[in-house]
Amino acid sequence: MITVLRLGHRPARDKRVTTHVALTARVFGADAVLVSTRDPVLERTVRNVVRRFGGSFRILTGVPWRRTLQDWNGPKVHLTMYGLPIEDVLTRIPRENLLIVIGAEKVPREVYDLVDFNVAVGNQPHSEVAALAVFLDRLHGGRSIRAEAAAQVRIRPNPRGKSVNGSGR
């Protein structure tokens, strides 16, 4: 079980990025995303994708992040450019009930102490979506892109156009 905790989501500003965080988490092998700010529109958007494209990925918003970190029963990883290089720590991270924390703007200092590992995907600033994708893909040894679940909508790979079975609407 792998859960992503998204901190600092601002519904008006971060709508697209947090949607991308959730969809990336789903496809790259996480089971759920928890978002610290309540956002029913975001929940609806992500659940709609899950309904059409399949699987059991879950989203919950309005989750108290501090209590979640304090009570979490499993290893906790915070993705941050200030952390230790992913290539040095990855093998030390237990996989059982793993919580992966990512930020939006400035992450509160206490997060760095509440987790077990602060991990950098390169020590340069980039994006939470990129950091999450690379981390999950490395965690799964490059096999993270999820095999398709039974879905209303199925895309058939096509070298030039778009081939889709079903509409799921």
- Where does this chain bind ligand SAM (CB under 6 A)? 79-81, 102-104, 106-107, 120-122, 124-128, 131
| Smaller CB separation from ligand SAM, 10 or 44 | 10
* Least distance from ligand SAM to the Cβ atom of residue 79, Å: 4
Name which of 54 and 103 has its Cβ closer to ligand SAM.
103
Least distance CB 100 / ligand SAM (angstroms): 9
In whole angstroms, how close is the CB of 81 to ligand SAM at the nearest point? 3
Task: For the beta carbon of residue 144, count every other beta carbon within 10 angstroms.
Answer: 18
Which C-beta is closer to ligand SAM: that of 4 or that of 50? 4
Least CB distance to ligand SAM at residue 21 (A): 9
Looking at beta carbons, which residue is closest to ligand SAM? 103
State which residue, 9 or 26, has the beta carbon closest to ligand SAM.
Answer: 9
Query: Nearer Cβ to ligand SAM, position 21 or 27?
Result: 21
> In angstroms, what is the minimal distance from the CB of 154 to ligand SAM?
32
107: phi then psi, degrees, rounded to nearest 5: -85, 130
Compute the distance between CA of residue 135 and CA of residue 137 in angstroms, rounded to an integer. 6
